[in-house]
Structure 1
Amino acid sequence: MSVNNAMTADFLRSAYGGESMAHMRYLIWGEEAQNDNYPNIGKLFRAIAYSEYIHAKNHFNILKEKLYDASVVSGAVFGSTNIVDNLQGAINGELHEINQMYPVYFETAKFQNEKEAQRSFHFALEAEKVHAKLFQDAQNSAKSNKDIDIKNVYVCPVCGFTTLDANLEKCPICNTKKELFKSF
């Protein structure tokens, strides 16, 4: 895989940086949720952290044909105050990706005929929509000082789609079979 256009390559690097930071931030916030007696919200953060890792990996793999140094510019939420605020930070990050970042990145890759980048951006965008909803539901519970009522969280290893549905047969984004999903 490779990219022929500098703008799409810049967007892939930026998305890689943002997804990498989201991965780590969600692991940290998940650990804090666990320590604050919100084990299921902690589980949700860990599962979505894995999804963000998949997005970062997909972006990285498109650019990995040569080794080089590059500055990566990407915004990130920093800090940690409490479970409700951390979830709001997660929601804000997901909404930024849904409403601003990935639509622009996708359209640029499409215009530049960068098929692999289009696919990677599409996968991430669709998964982020689910993440925003899951985080919003978790925040609604946390505002009442309650953990979310979930059993398992399942993540597609190809596109990062995240679901609570144990009966799902295949990924609605990339058609990967459910038995290949990672369970948290």
Structure 2
Amino acid sequence: MDENKTIKNLMEAFAGESQANRKYLAYSRKAEKEGKLNAAKLFKAASDAETLHALKHFEVAGKVAATADNLKDAVAGETHEYTEMYPDFVKIAEAEGNKAALTSFTYAMKAEEVHAKLYQEALENLDETNEIFYYLCPVCGNIEKARPDKCSICGTPGEKFIEY
């Protein structure tokens, strides 16, 4: 048995299950807005099931390391997104005149930069025992360590932020 092929397959399955999770969550939200509550609940349950599959595949592939290593990986991934991936996506969306995609990519790019800094800060303070709360903007994905008056990226009112 080719273990490298199995790891590759686990990662492909992880990617597919992760995408299905988000797709079904989007479908659930749409069905809920349309008042189709049974379909919404089914999509949400399936979304959660896909999450279970994805997490198990990722774990079995040996991709979950010590927290410090996971934080380093997160810093690298977020940094790649805001310095390389999203700037290219923004340029293309601008050139094509796709304002909705431009906004989506710009919000994500700015939020990913914040995420990278927060991961780096968490890495540097890994042994900190005082509890920290994080606040998520439900529109652009920005994360703050204190509830803001409004989101610094998209302007969403701070009272809409979700506390973690």
**TM-score range normalised by the length of the shorter chain:** 0.5 to 0.7
Q: TM-score with structure 1 length normalisation?
A: 0.55
Q: How does 1:1-184 map to 2 (within 5 A)?
A: 79-142=63-126, 146-147=127-128, 149-166=130-147, 168-184=148-164
Indicate if the aligned counterparts of 1:156 and 1:182 stay in contact, CA closer than 8 A. Answer: yes
Stretches of structure 2 lacking an aligned partner (at least 5 in a row): 1-14, 31-61
Displacement of 1:165: 1.6
Write the distance in 1 (CA, Å) between the matches of 2:102 and 2:158.
24
Cross-structure match for 2:47:
none
Displacement of 1:151: 3.1
Write the distance in 1 (CA, Å) between the matches of 2:66 and 2:96.
42
CA separation of 1:135/1:149 partners in 2, compared to 1, >3 Å: closer, same or farther? farther
Structure with higher Rg: it is: 2
CA separation of 1:103/1:150 partners in 2, compared to 1, >3 Å: closer, same or farther? farther
Indicate if the aligned counterparts of 1:161 and 1:173 stay in contact, CA closer than 8 A. Answer: yes
Displacement of 1:150: 4.1
Stretches of structure 1 lacking an aligned partner (at least 5 in a row): 1-16, 25-52, 62-77
CA separation of 1:179/1:82 partners in 2, compared to 1, >3 Å: closer, same or farther? same
Runs of 4+ in 1 over 6 A off after TM superposition: none
Indicate if the aligned counterparts of 1:141 and 1:148 stay in contact, CA closer than 8 A. Answer: no
Say which structure, 1 or 2, has more relative contact order (CA 8 Å, 6+ apart).
1
Q: TM-score with structure 2 length normalisation?
A: 0.61
What fraction of aligned residue pairs are identical, expressed as a percent? 36
Displacement of 1:148: 6.0
- Counterpart AA for 1:152: F
Deviations 1:93-139 (A, max 9, x none): 00110111000001100001010000000000010111001000111
Displacement of 1:141: 1.7
Displacement of 1:147: 3.4
Write the distance in 1 (CA, Å) between the matches of 2:65 and 2:132.
26
